[in-house]
Amino acid sequence: VPAPPGEGGVCDPAALARAVISARSAGRRIGAVIVTLPDNPTGQLARPGTVRALARVAAEHDLVIISDEIYRELVYQRSPFASPAQFAPERTVVTTAPSKSLALGGWRLGVARMPDGQPGGDLRERLLGVGSEIWSAAAGPIQEAAALAFREPPEIANRIRRSRRLHATVCRAVAARFGAAGLAVPAPQAAFYCYPDFAPWRDRLASRHGVTTGAALAGHLLHRYGMAVLPASAFGEDASVLRLRVATGLLYGETAEQQERALSAPDPLRLPWIAAALARLEDILADLAPR
Ligand SMILES: Cc1ncc(COP(=O)(O)O)c(C=O)c1O
């Protein structure tokens, strides 16, 4: 079910209701809806009104809402953040992990916060039953580290604040490069992604490079320019869609020292390696653009 225009991560509530009714009348069992707040790949945050309407539809159709809030600490503006847990606490499971805002990508640990009360308790028992057969348990030291981080001591909160600022600065600068080249790109609101659409260049990409799908465009960018991105089809969009998910993490520096400097710089865009990466992106786009 697609998201409403200009939003990402939460499906259109009215369309969800129709889809559930139609799937159930075809005999399918539909028990849950998954949302991402904020979203990967679009870097967007659904509006509170959409989240409220989704919670209403979930209650009407008896759906559990799994709200993936792994990027919640990485919302750039102080824009109102609404979780379905506010509107339908009895049926919302909130999930998160230390891999994004804490940049602990290899640390295999996830957290699910279950609803209070009986239905939440039942769900928890069943989840533990499944989990004990699949992943058994997270390693003890990783559990200790996560417990410390989720208590939000000042030094960790401060680091997350600085990372959020770096992601926002670089992501907006990257999006601006795509926009200046003539591509449609939603303004990034969170996380470290932007999601430009190469549709305006479709004819030229097909005639000049034989590129007609998002996957072929991603392949072309990788092989010709060494630029790694993911096509929209990796996120369930049609193969012909020319949107690409561009992540900024690798632009912050190749060494730990460069990355630390990026985190502390008053204007990270002036650091030579970030400025060079942005200039390289401009060159790639200029080379690909129709002329
Ligand atoms: C929305 C969302 N949820 C969950 C994950 C999984 O993160 P992890 O690396 O902790 O498995 C990702 C990773 O990209 C993500 O984008």
* pTM for the model: 0.93
d(CA 256, CA 266): 18
Classify burial at 274, counting beta carbons within 10 Å of its beta carbon; exposed 0-12, middle 13-18, buried 19 or more: buried
d(CA 281, CA 265): 21
Closest ligand 1 atom to 71 CA = 1
pLDDT number for residue 208:
94
For the chain, helix, strand, coil in percent to 5 are: 50, 10, 35
The reply to whether ligand 1 has any atom less than 6 angstroms from the CB of 99 is yes
206 touches 255 (CB < 8 A): no
- Give the mutation target among 70, 167, 195, 230 for probing the ligand 1 site: most ligand atoms within 8 A of CB: 70
List pLDDT tens digits, range 22-41: 999 999 999 999 999 999 99
The reply to whether ligand 1 has any atom less than 6 angstroms from the CB of 68 is yes
Q: Which residues of 94-130 are buried (b: 16+ CB within 10 A; e: fewer)?
A: bebbbebbbebeebebbeeebbeeeebeebeeeeeee
Classify burial at 57, counting beta carbons within 10 Å of its beta carbon; exposed 0-12, middle 13-18, buried 19 or more: buried
Closest ligand 1 atom to 36 CA = 1
The reply to whether ligand 1 has any atom less than 6 angstroms from the CB of 105 is yes
pLDDT number for residue 66:
98
Closest ligand 1 atom to 98 CA = 10
d(CA 19, CA 205): 35
Residue 131 has which token pair? 């989990």
d(CA 96, CA 111): 5
Q: Tell me: cis bond preceding 38? Omega within 30 of 0 counts.
A: yes
Q: Choose among 19, 21, 79: nearest CA to 51.
A: 79
| Helix ranges, 70-134 (H) | 84-87, 117-134
List, as own/partner pairs, every contact residues 48-51 make where C-beta atoms lie below 8 angstroms and the sequence separation is at least 24, other chains included.
48/80, 48/81, 48/82, 50/4, 50/7, 50/10, 50/12, 50/13, 51/10, 51/82, 51/83, 51/84, 51/86, 51/87
Nearest C-alpha to atom 7 of ligand 1 is from which residue? 99
Closest ligand 1 atom to 99 CA = 10
285 touches 185 (CB < 8 A): no
Q: Choose among 197, 244, 241, 253: nearest CA to 225.
A: 244
Name, in order, each residue with C-beta under 8 angstroms of 86's C-beta and a sequence gap of 6 or more: 51
The reply to whether ligand 1 has any atom less than 6 angstroms from the CB of 36 is yes
The reply to whether ligand 1 has any atom less than 6 angstroms from the CB of 88 is no
Mapping DSSP to helix (H, G, I), strand (E, B) and coil, where does residue 87 land? helix
d(CA 130, CA 116): 20
269 touches 252 (CB < 8 A): no
The per-residue pLDDT string of the chain (291 residues; one tens digit each, 9 = 90 and over) reads: 999 988 899 999 999 999 999 999 999 999 999 999 999 999 999 999 999 999 999 999 999 999 999 999 999 987 678 999 999 999 999 999 999 999 998 888 999 999 998 889 999 999 999 988 988 888 999 999 999 999 999 999 999 999 999 999 999 999 999 999 999 999 999 999 999 999 999 999 999 999 999 999 999 999 999 999 999 999 999 999 999 999 999 999 999 999 999 999 999 999 999 999 999 999 999 999 998
189 touches 77 (CB < 8 A): yes
The reply to whether ligand 1 has any atom less than 6 angstroms from the CB of 101 is no
